[in-house]
């Protein structure tokens, strides 16, 4: 038997705040009457309707926009409401709630505390019940070894295909990328082109992006740089960040269009503002070496930091080098060592050279001649 009401997840202080916010909104003439009622009932009653909890999260979000000084308090209560809503829906057997709660617990989103064991349990159940995006998440977790799972490309691939067959757009996009570039599966340009075409016909921007890449690089079809540029430009104008970055590169190199450094920089700036991790790295490189822009170590370092914060591993080496040499920032050998160590783990040969110097001179860590020699030898071997 499904439950319609649950015990209030809010403590006395939180309930008092909900009541006061309902009163405040009424006095200021803010929020709709029903939303003020939602706030009042959440603060007044010991038991709340499950559906009202979800409405409460939306009301609290609107309240924080109206009264920004309340945002910290509203976020705390919104998190409690959202978790209670999902937990109650899971108990009622709701498949979508099981997936959403698992996702939130894995990544600590919506203010929920990370809980990998619980996340894995819920996501596994949702995947077994056939939820397409849960199958995709399990594929991703097996591929990267998330939530305590061992990395397993074979299992990841099998789950990805099932997710795509089940209709997951995210899975179809990932599968297209894997097919085109031979990631975890055998490279198959024809299959990748077909998957991208299907996604593009469904109006999926990421599918359109990879279809443009197919035309640009001749993957599963004839090379057509002009068509690729037109497709990417349209996506860029609609705010698709990955397309903005690539459009910038086409402008910069004059591929599929006339060369324009000015337009390239505009595209990269827009992509950076939109949150793309590649664009700030590209901007960093241009300012680092003065490639068609005035050389500027400070700007380069700022862009590299932004790229790194967005999980672009390529930014680790230039950041390490900058901290080691004090270019664009204060010299910081401890930070330099950590960035260079990370870049070395990704296979960056230049990072290996500076890491060898850290070991040899004791920069940011204790001197270690054995490690220094090993890294210098590795650099020599890679240059042969």
Count of beta carbons in the 10 Å neighbourhood of residue 272: 24
* pLDDT for residue 383: 63
* pLDDT for residue 111: 84
For 126-172, write each residue's pLDDT tens digit: 999 999 999 999 999 999 999 999 999 999 999 999 999 999 999 99
Of 219, 309, 236, the residue nearest 274 (C-alpha) = 236
Burial of residue 150 (CB within 10 Å: 0-12, 13-18, 19+) is exposed
* pLDDT for residue 2: 62
Structure letter (DSSP) for residue 151: P
pLDDT in tens, the chain (384 residues): 566 899 999 999 999 999 999 999 999 999 999 999 999 999 999 999 999 999 999 999 999 999 999 999 999 999 999 999 999 999 999 999 999 999 999 999 988 899 999 999 999 999 999 999 999 999 999 999 999 999 999 999 999 999 999 999 999 999 999 999 999 999 999 999 999 999 999 999 999 999 999 999 999 999 999 999 999 999 999 999 999 999 999 999 999 999 999 999 999 999 999 999 999 999 999 999 999 899 999 999 999 999 999 999 999 999 999 999 999 999 999 999 999 999 999 989 999 999 999 999 999 999 999 999 999 888 887 763
Element (H, E) at 18: helix 12-28
Token couple for 191: 């299959």
Phi (first) and psi of residue 250, to 5 degrees? -65, -40
Indicate left, alpha or beta for 31 from its phi (over 0: left) and psi (-120 to 50: alpha). Answer: left
Q: Any idea what the Cα angle at residue 344 is, between residues 339 and 350, rounded to 5°?
A: 95
- CATH, domain 283-384, list 2.30.40.10, 1.25.40.10, 1.10.10.10, 2.120.10.80: 1.25.40.10
Structure letter (DSSP) for residue 314: G
Residues 164, 175 contacting (CB under 8 angstroms): yes
For 291-303, write each residue's pLDDT tens digit: 989 999 999 999 9
């Amino acid at each position: 038997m499904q439950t319609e009401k649950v015990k209030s997840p809010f403590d006395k202080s939180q309930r008092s705040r909900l009541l006061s916010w309902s009163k405040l909104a009424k006095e200021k003439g803010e929020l709709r009457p029903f939303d003020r009622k939602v706030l009042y009932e959440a603060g007044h009653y010991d038991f709340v309707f499950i559906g009202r909890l979800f409405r409460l999260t939306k009301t609290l979000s609107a309240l924080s926009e109206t009264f920004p000084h309340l945002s910290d308090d509203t976020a705390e209560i919104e998190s409690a409401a959202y978790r209670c809503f999902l937990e109650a829906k899971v108990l009622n057997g709701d498949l979508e709630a099981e997936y959403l709660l698992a996702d939130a617990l894995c990544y600590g989103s919506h203010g929920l505390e990370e809980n990998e064991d619980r996340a894995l349990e819920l996501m596994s159940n949702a995947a077994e019940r056939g939820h397409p995006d849960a199958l995709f998440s399990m594929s991703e977790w097996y591929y990267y070894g998330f939530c305590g799972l061992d990395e397993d490309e074979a299992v990841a691939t099998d789950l990805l295909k099932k997710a795509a067959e089940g209709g997951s757009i995210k899975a179809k996009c990932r599968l297209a990328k894997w097919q085109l570039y031979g990631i975890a599966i055998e490279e198959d340009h024809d299959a990748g082109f077909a998957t991208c075409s299907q996604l593009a016909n469904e109006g999926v921007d990421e599918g359109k992006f990879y279809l443009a890449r197919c035309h640009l690089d001749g993957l599963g079809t004839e090379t057509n740089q002009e068509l690729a540029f037109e497709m990417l430009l349209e996506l860029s104008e609609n705010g698709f960040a990955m397309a903005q970055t690539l459009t910038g590169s086409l402008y910069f190199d004059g591929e599929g269009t006339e060369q324009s450094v000015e337009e390239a920089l505009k595209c990269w700036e827009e992509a950076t503002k939109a949150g793309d991790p590649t664009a700030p790295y590209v901007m960093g490189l241009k300012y680092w070496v003065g490639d068609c822009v005035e050389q500027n170590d400070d700007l380069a370092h700022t862009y590299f930091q932004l790229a790194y914060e967005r999980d672009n591993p390529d930014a680790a080496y230039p950041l390490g080098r900058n901290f080691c040499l004090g270019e664009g920032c204060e010299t910081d050998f401890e930070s330099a060592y950590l960035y260079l160590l990370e870049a070395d783990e990704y296979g960056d040969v230049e990072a290996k050279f500076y890491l060898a110097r850290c070991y040899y001179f004791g920069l940011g860590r204790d001197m270690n001649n054995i490690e220094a020699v090993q890294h210098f030898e590795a650099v020599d071997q890679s240059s042969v």
